[in-house]
Structure 1
Amino acid sequence: MSQIHHEKDDSKGRYWMQVDGHLAELTYSRAGDSMIIIDHTDVPDALRGQGVGVRLVERAVADARQNGIRILPLCPFAKAQFQRHRDWQDVL
């Protein structure tokens, strides 16, 4: 599957990937140096059911662990994934 890219500046960021010509992304806002707020996940209909959105959230979780930051999932999709993946609770 496609590579996940990460772009960020001082206040916002996004994880994104291109799959079969379709763009999927997860966007977030920074809340200080120790937290990000996931505010939106967008996966085109053509990619639904392929685990693309979950991969984006997984990458955010992995980066949060690596950088010692917390995640506040306001996006309904990301929030649902955190409820399904109890092993991600350490970054909440």
Structure 2
Amino acid sequence: MTALKHDQSKQRYEVEVAPNYWAHLDYLEHNGALTITHTFVPDELRGQGCGKTLMETVLADIEANNLKVRPVCSYAVVYLERHSQWQHLLAK
């Protein structure tokens, strides 16, 4: 299982994408929807599927907590366009 940290006070999810390497996703929460404003993967791990791991881990947590998402970050926008299984999480 992928390690996940959710710091609501900082509005940030952190996911361990490789041993001792953490990616993060920043958001703004409003009325049960998380506006994804930024994603980050360490430079040395880019292009290795870590962004996908970050998104899938975070989206699963968002779904489990009955929240919705509004992607603003360019990576999140493209990811959600390409992965229809998460479309039900998009805020109207």
> TM-score band, normalised by the shorter chain?
0.7 to 0.9
The residue that corresponds to 2:2 in the other structure is: 3
TM-score (norm 2): 0.81
Mapped partners of 1:40, 1:57: distance in 2: 11
The residue that corresponds to 1:78 in the other structure is: 76
The residue that corresponds to 1:46 in the other structure is: 44
Letter of the 1:7 partner, please give it. Answer: H
* Residue-by-residue CA offset, 1:16-65 (whole Å, 9 max, x unaligned): 32635543211112113x11111111112210121111111111211121
Mapped partners of 2:86, 2:39: distance in 1: 17
Q: Give the root-mean-square deviation of aligned CA atoms.
A: 2.0
My pick for the range that moved more, 8-17 or 68-77, is 8-17
Indicate if the aligned counterparts of 1:35 and 1:72 stay in contact, CA closer than 8 A.
yes
Give the total of aligned pairs. Answer: 90
Runs of 4+ in structure 1 over 4 Å off? none
Indicate if the aligned counterparts of 1:38 and 1:73 stay in contact, CA closer than 8 A.
yes
In structure 1, runs of 5+ residues without a counterpart are none
CA displacement at 1:69 relative to structure 2: 0.8
In structure 2, runs of 5+ residues without a counterpart are none
Q: What percentage of residue pairs aligned between the two structures are identical?
A: 31
Letter of the 2:49 partner, please give it. Answer: G
